[in-house]
A and B are shown apart, each in its own frame.
Chain A
Amino acid sequence: MAGTAVADASTRQRSPRRGRPATPTVTRAVVIAALFLFVLLALPQLMTLYYVDTMTQVAVYAMVALGLGVLVGRVGLVSLGQVAVLAIGAWVAARLLFATSQPFPLVLLEAGLITMAAGTLLGLPALRLRGLYLALITLMFAGAIAIVLDTTNFPNGGHGFLGYNGSLVHIPPIRRPGIAASDPAYFRYSVVVAALLFLLAFVHIRTRPGRAWAAIRQSEPAAMAAGINTTFYKLWAFALASFITGVAGGVYAGAVHYLYSLDFPAQDSIILFAVVLMGGAYSLWGAIVAALLLEFLPALLQNWGVSADWLTILFGIGVVLTLTTAPAGMADQVPKDLARLGRLLRRLATSGGGAR
Chain B
Amino acid sequence: MAAMRGDGVVGKGIIEVEGLTVRFGGVTSLDDMSVTFEAGTCGLIGPNGAGKTTFFNVLSGFVRPAAGTVRAFGEDLLSMVHFRRARWGVRRTFQTEQAIEELSVYDNVAMIHEHSRQRGASRRQDVLGAIAFTGLEADAFARVGTLAAGQRRLVEVARAVVGRPRVVLLDEPAAGLPDDETRHLAEVIRRIPEQAGALTILVDHDMSLVSACCDTTAVLDFGKLIASGPTAEVLRDDRVIRAYLGTAEVA
Contacts and interface: CB of A to CB of B under 8 A. Distances in A.
A21 B116 CA distance: 28
Contacts of A218: 98, 100-102
Contacts of B139: 12-15, 17
Interface string B115-143: 11000000000001000000000111110
A214 B102 contact: yes
Interface stretch (B7-15, B23-31, B106-114, B225-233): B106-114
B37 to A, nearest CB: 18
Instruction: Give the residue among B128, B141, B159 with the most A Cβ atoms within 10 A.
Output: B141
A96 to B, nearest CB: 37
Contacts of B141: 15, 17, 20-21
A14 B128 CA distance: 16
B83 A230 contact: yes
A127 B83 CA distance: 15
Interface residues of A, number: 24
Prevailing SS type, chain A contact patch = helix
A16 B132 CA distance: 15
A211 B110 contact: yes
A227 B142 contact: no
B87 interface: yes
A215 B111 contact: yes
Nearest to A233: B83
Contacts of B240: none
Interface string A276-293: 000000100000000000
B82 A214 contact: no
Contacts of A227: 83-87, 112, 115-116
A226 B112 contact: yes
Given A15-B139, A218-B101, A211 B111 contact: yes
B65 interface: no
A127 B102 CA distance: 23
Chain B: interface size category? 20 to 34
B103 A226 contact: no
Contact of B103 (A20, A214, A282): A214
Nearest to B81: A229
Contacts of B85: 227
B100 A214 contact: yes
Interface string B55-95: 00000111000000000000000000011111100111010
Contacts of B128: 17
B98 A208 contact: no
Nearest to A19: B141
A14 B112 CA distance: 25
A221 B112 contact: no
A211 B159 CA distance: 13
B94 A211 contact: no
Nearest to B88: A227
B83 A212 contact: no
Contacts of B100: 211, 214-215, 218
Contact of B94 (A14, A15, A214, A222): A222
Nearest to B103: A214
29 contacts: A12-B139, A15-B141, A17-B128, A17-B139, A21-B141, A208-B111, A211-B111, A212-B111, A214-B102, A214-B103, A215-B100, A215-B111, A218-B98, A218-B100, A218-B101, A219-B98, A221-B60, A222-B94, A224-B83, A224-B86, A225-B60, A225-B90, A226-B112, A227-B83, A227-B84, A227-B112, A228-B83, A228-B86, A228-B115
Given A218-B102, A228-B111, 6 more contacts: A17-B140, A211-B107, A211-B114, A214-B103, A224-B86, A230-B83
Interface of B: 60-62, 82-87, 90-92, 94, 98, 100-103, 107, 110-112, 114-116, 128, 138-142, 159
Top 10 A-B residue pairs of the complex, sorted by shortest distance between their CB atoms: A227-B86, A227-B115, A222-B98, A211-B111, A13-B139, A224-B82, A229-B83, A214-B100, A227-B87, A225-B92
